[in-house]
Copies of this chain bind each other. A is one copy, B any other.
C-alpha cells in the first residue's frame, strides 16, 4: 500500500490549472449562478433561456480532439483551444442552433505549464465568445496524450430546428464556403505536399470557422429542409442526408466550390511529374477528390426547395455585408484571413435510386455512382 508515502511535487496541481482556466473564462453572464471553479457543477438559470425569443429547445453535442489525430505539428496552443471549441460549435451550426454555453474536460500532458493552460484556454474563450457562447465549466486531469472533449449547449426555436431527415425530392443541394481546401491544407501541414501555402489558407484546417451565423440565419429563414456539416467529408454527408431523408442526390463536380490557392498548391506539387496541360486537369481531379472524400472542411451542406434560392441568396448577401464588422471583434489571433462566406448550389435531389457524381468526360459528361467514403477514425478508409 502507498499509505504514508508522500511524494512532494512542485508540478502544477489540478486546482492550479482550474484557477488559470477560470481566470480566462471570467463569467459575465447573469444566468450563471455558480461557475464550476468553485462547485461540482456549473448552473444556468432556465429563465435566461425562456426570455430569449429564439429559444424553446436546448441542443447538445459533444466531441473529442487529441494530439495524434487532430493537431498537426506546429499548431499553437491557442489554435488547439480554438479548434476544440470550433469542432463542437460546428455541430450546433448544422442544427441552426445558437451557442449558449461550453464545457470541456482536458487531459493535459507531462510538462504542460500554467502559461500553456492560459494560452489554450484563451483559444477556447475567443472562439466560444465570438460565436455568442460562454465557457461555463472545465475539468482537467493528467493524460499522456493531450486530449480534450468539449460539450456545447445551444438554444433553438423548436419549429426551426433543421434535421437531416427532411430533404425533399427536387431540393437544391448547397454548400457553404470552399470544399477540399482542408484536405489540401492538411497535406501541406503533414509535408505530404512540399509546397508553401499562405497562413490564411492553412487556417482552414487549424482554425476551422464554424458556420454558426450562417446556420442560425438558414434556420430562421424557414427555407431549408435539411442540413448537416461536412466534417467527415462531403460524400459522407450526402449519404447521411440521403439515408435519413429517403431521397438521392446528384452532384455536378464542375460546380464544386474549389479554392484557387488549393488548385495552385496541387499544380505546383505536380510540376515535376507532368507537363503543362496535364497538370491543370490532374490538379482539378485531385482537388475534387479531396472535396468529396476528405474531412475537415466544417462547411454546412443543406437542401432548399428551388423556389427559395433567391431568398437564400439575399440572406447570404445581407449576412456578408455585416461580416467585416463581426470579424472586427475577433481577437488579433483569430482575425487574419477571415472572409465572408458564400454558398454554392452543387447538385439536387433526384429520382434515381443512388447518389451520383456528374463528371466532365471529353466533350460530354458522365454520371458515376458517388463513392460512400469519408473520414472514419476506426477504419481510416481514406
Is A139 an interface position by the 8 A CB rule? yes
CA distance A9 to B382 in the complex (A): 11
Q: What chain B residues lie within 8 Å of A105 (beta carbons)?
A: 62-64, 149
- A residues 1-28 touching B (CB-CB < 8 Å): 1-4, 6-9, 11-15, 17
Pick from A1, A97, A101, A373 the residue with the most CB of B within 10 Å.
A1
Which residue of B has the minimal Cβ distance to A6?
Answer: B381
- A residues 368-382 touching B (CB-CB < 8 Å): 373, 376-382
Q: What chain B residues lie within 8 Å of A154 (beta carbons)?
A: 41
CA distance A66 to B139 in the complex (A): 14
CA distance A66 to B105 in the complex (A): 12
CA distance A105 to B91 in the complex (A): 14
CA distance A290 to B381 in the complex (A): 49
Pick from A46, A145, A149 the residue with the most CB of B within 10 Å.
A149
Known contacts A64-B105, A66-B143: does B193 contact A1 (CB below 8 Å)?
yes
- A residues 102-158 touching B (CB-CB < 8 Å): 103-105, 107-108, 136-139, 141-145, 147, 149, 151, 153-156, 158
Contact of A153 among B39, B50, B60, B97 (CB under 8 A): B60
Contact of A61 among B41, B44, B161, B380 (CB under 8 A): B41
Is A187 an interface position by the 8 A CB rule? yes
Is A43 an interface position by the 8 A CB rule? yes
B43 near A95: Cβ-Cβ < 8 Å? yes
Is A307 an interface position by the 8 A CB rule? no
Is A264 an interface position by the 8 A CB rule? no
User: How far is the CB of A72 from the nearest CB of chain B, in Å?
Assistant: 15
Is A359 an interface position by the 8 A CB rule? no
Contact of A46 among B36, B43, B49 (CB under 8 A): B49
- A residues 206-245 touching B (CB-CB < 8 Å): 228-229, 244
CA distance A193 to B3 in the complex (A): 12
Q: What chain B residues lie within 8 Å of A43 (beta carbons)?
A: 57-60, 95, 156, 158, 161
CA distance A379 to B377 in the complex (A): 32
B163 near A39: Cβ-Cβ < 8 Å? yes
Is A338 an interface position by the 8 A CB rule? no
Which residue of B has the minimal Cβ distance to A11?
Answer: B379
Q: What chain B residues lie within 8 Å of A165 (beta carbons)?
A: 38
Q: What chain B residues lie within 8 Å of A378 (beta carbons)?
A: 11-14, 17, 108, 141-142
Q: What chain B residues lie within 8 Å of A147 (beta carbons)?
A: 64, 107, 143, 147
Q: What chain B residues lie within 8 Å of A91 (beta carbons)?
A: 40-41
Is A33 an interface position by the 8 A CB rule? yes
B290 near A40: Cβ-Cβ < 8 Å? no
Interface pairs A-B: 8 shortest CB-CB: A149-B149, A40-B91, A40-B94, A141-B377, A41-B59, A151-B151, A9-B379, A142-B377
What would 20 A/B residue contacts be, using CB atoms closer than 8 Å?
A: A3-B294, A7-B379, A11-B378, A12-B378, A13-B379, A15-B376, A38-B164, A39-B163, A39-B164, A39-B228, A40-B95, A41-B91, A41-B95, A41-B154, A42-B60, A45-B56, A46-B57, A66-B107, A107-B147, A151-B151
A residues within 8 Å of B by Cβ? 1-4, 6-9, 11-15, 17, 33-34, 36, 38-47, 49-50, 55-64, 66, 68-69, 90-92, 94-95, 97, 101, 103-105, 107-108, 136-139, 141-145, 147, 149, 151, 153-156, 158, 161, 163-165, 187, 192-193, 228-229, 244, 286, 289-290, 293-294, 373, 376-382
